[in-house]
């Protein structure tokens, strides 16, 4: 077993260079393998038992919507009964799992990291089929999952060590962290391995047990991770798996009085609903539920008049259209100084037109389909709304859902601050461009939103960058670089306001979300003592206390 001393310092997993022939061939081989495994059926898992249910639902490939990725037992059909069983299994498992030493719990994460690293392209290929990720986007997702496993394992060892307390003569005082209990993990579809893995294993490594309810748009990737947990020998009941076609399972998990915490990543509407339901104390509930929520954003890139426009153009296109704009950190607002507006837009449109839209299984594809019909319909509606409210379409605007849910990378210029597409999260490749009179005006526009997740500023003026550091109200601020691409350990991730609870995933404080502090004080006594002196001392102490 690896010990704290023998562990190497955490380093981010490197991304794969697909320009190298051997790497490209390895990915093609993985895609071929996964293609041969499409359409298989998967059960729910409660206390290690794999249960096949009568009702099923399908996960489909958004880029080829006639292609079934996986067929799942639908826990929504009997959500009340199945959720109760899964929570009971997690609650029972917690009795022993909480007492497993931190070093042993961390070792499970390190074992899982080694397996994912060995099968990196296999996991990436599943995301290519199930969520429409390009090779590079899928590879980044897999690398981040490995990072979470390696980072959180090390972090648990740090939190399990001696914690600093003020010394008091005559007492042995200690402070330690203990797990919360059994909780619900409700991850999103857009980072189906990384975020799902990070949320789940953060709870596990801190000594909690869980019920994992994956998104109905990405259950196969989550199930493949469950197979790894079985392979490494994680005890039964520590992670239970309930896939559902809708919201019934999640609703039951949130409302159960036995659920100690809810870890959620998704939309603002669902996050606020969870927050509200979690605040209600139900019969038999002995705690206030803890909610860890990351709920998206309306992220802006500010480009000032003195910025490097070439860098700003590339960064904007990457942040706006990477993974079809389906990242909570994606740039959906470009706020540009009116003096450089025309020059910058010319460069952005030029880069955008070079993007290749196609099947994600092809290595040279830059953009592919959005996740589902609902997302496609919302994107087309919002594009139309943006134009109706006075915006000028300068690139894209079209869509085709005949074979997959494809939306062109769309740029709408002359958007007014406060317009619908400038305020509402779209989660699609739609960029709203807003002109600013000066830097102060740009900051004012950027901050005028319900959200506060990520933001970026391009400027060569250090005074303006310093002003952004102080006044741009976001959880993750990037200067002279794009607003996407947070790395575990490097950029602790989480936002303000309606972007969630600022949980800072991948940061040194994240594991504290799943633990509570316990202070332990022991009076130091000796075999030989002067009883009268001790009584006198106690009396003095008591007098001071009162």
Please tell me which residue in 197, 328, 331, 483 is annotated as part of the active site.
328
Residues 158-180: tens digit of each pLDDT: 999 999 999 999 999 999 999 99
pLDDT value at residue 527: 63
> Class assignment of domain 37-295+501-518?
alpha beta
The more confident residue out of 545 and 403 is 403
Per-residue exposure over 493-520, b if at least 16 CB sit within 10 Å of its own CB, e if not: bbbbbbbbbbbbbbbeebbbbbbeeeee
294 catalytically annotated: yes
CA torsion through residues 307, 311, 313, 319, sign? negative
- Per-residue pLDDT band for 528 (boundaries 50, 70, 90) equals low
The pLDDT of residue 531 is above 60: no
**Residues, the chain, total?**
546
The span from the CA of 180 to the CA of 97, in Å, is 12
- Report the pLDDT averaged over residues 219-240: 98
Please tell me which residue in 13, 294, 408, 425 is annotated as part of the active site.
294
Architecture per CATH, domain 321-494, reads as 3-Layer(aba) Sandwich (3.40)
pLDDT value at residue 507: 98
Mean pLDDT (the chain) is 95
The pLDDT of residue 542 is above 90: no
- Report the pLDDT averaged over residues 318-341: 98
The pLDDT of residue 534 is above 70: no
- Report the pLDDT averaged over residues 135-148: 98
The more confident residue out of 546 and 5 is 5
The span from the CA of 514 to the CA of 201, in Å, is 11
pLDDT value at residue 526: 75
Q: CB atoms < 10 A from the CB of 104, how many?
A: 9
Structure tokens that stand for 484 in this block: 């996407």
Look at the block and give the residue holding tokens 């601020």: 477
The residue ranges of every structural domain in the chain are 37-295+501-518, 321-494
- Poorest-confidence range of 2-11, 181-190, 280-289? 2-11
The pLDDT of residue 482 is above 80: yes
pLDDT value at residue 475: 98
């Amino acid at each position: 077993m690896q010990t704290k001393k023998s562990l190497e310092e955490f380093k981010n997993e490197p991304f794969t260079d697909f320009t190298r022939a051997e790497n490209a061939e390895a990915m093609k081989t993985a895609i071929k393998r996964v293609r041969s495994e499409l359409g298989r059926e998967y059960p729910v898992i409660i206390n290690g038992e794999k249960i096949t249910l009568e009702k099923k639902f399908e996960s489909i490939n958004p880029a080829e919507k006639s292609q079934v990725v996986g067929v799942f037992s639908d826990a929504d059909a009997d959500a009340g009964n199945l959720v109760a069983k899964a929570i009971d299994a997690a609650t029972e498992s917690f009795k022993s799992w909480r007492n497993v030493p931190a070093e042993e719990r961390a070792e499970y994460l390190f074992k899982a990291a080694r397996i994912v690293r060995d099968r990196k392209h296999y996991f990436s290929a599943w995301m290519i089929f199930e969520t429409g990720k390009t090779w590079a986007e899928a590879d980044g997702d897999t690398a981040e999952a490995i990072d979470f496993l390696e980072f959180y394992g090390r972090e648990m060892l740090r939190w399990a060590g001696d914690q600093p307390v003020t010394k008091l003569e005559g007492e042995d005082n200690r402070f330690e962290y203990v797990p919360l209990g059994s909780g619900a993990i409700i991850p999103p579809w857009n980072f189906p391995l990384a975020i799902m893995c990070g949320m789940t294993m953060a709870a596990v490594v801190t000594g909690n047990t869980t019920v994992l309810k994956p998104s109905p748009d990405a259950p196969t990737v989550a199930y493949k991770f469950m197979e790894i947990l079985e392979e490494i020998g994680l005890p039964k009941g520590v992670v239970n798996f309930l896939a559902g076609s809708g919201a019934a399972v999640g609703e039951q998990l949130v409302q159960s009085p036995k659920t100690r915490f809810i870890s959620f990543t998704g939309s603002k509407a669902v996050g606020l609903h969870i927050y509200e339901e979690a605040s209600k104390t139900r019969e038999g509930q002995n705690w206030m539920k803890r909610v860890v929520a990351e709920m998206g954003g309306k992220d802006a890139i500010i480009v000032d008049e003195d910025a490097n426009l070439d860098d700003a153009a590339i960064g904007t296109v990457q942040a706006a259209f990477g993974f079809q704009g389906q990242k909570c950190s994606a740039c959906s607002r470009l706020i540009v100084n009116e003096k450089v507006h025309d020059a910058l837009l010319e460069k952005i449109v030029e880069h955008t037109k070079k993007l290749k839209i196609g099947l994600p299984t092809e290595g040279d594809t830059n953009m592919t389909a959005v996740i589902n019909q609902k997302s496609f319909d919302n994107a087309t509606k919002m594009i139309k709304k943006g134009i109706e409210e006075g915006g000028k379409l300068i690139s894209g605007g079209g869509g085709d859902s005949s074979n997959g849910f494809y939306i062109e990378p769309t740029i709408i210029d002359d958007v007014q601050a406060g317009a619908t597409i400038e305020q509402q999260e779209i989660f699609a490749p739609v960029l709203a461009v807003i002109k600013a009179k000066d830097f102060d005006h740009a900051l004012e526009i950027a901050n005028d939103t319900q959200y506060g997740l990520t933001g970026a500023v391009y400027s060569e003026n250090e005074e303006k960058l310093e002003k952004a550091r102080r006044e741009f109200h976001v959880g993750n601020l990037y200067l002279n670089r794009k607003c996407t691409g947070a790395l575990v350990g490097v950029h602790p991730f989480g936002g303000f306001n309606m972007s969630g609870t600022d949980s800072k995933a991948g940061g040194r404080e994240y594991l504290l979300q799943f633990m509570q502090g316990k202070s332990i004080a022991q009076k130091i006594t000796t075999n030989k003592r002067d009883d009268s002196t001790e009584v006198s001392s106690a009396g003095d102490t008591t007098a001071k206390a009162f």
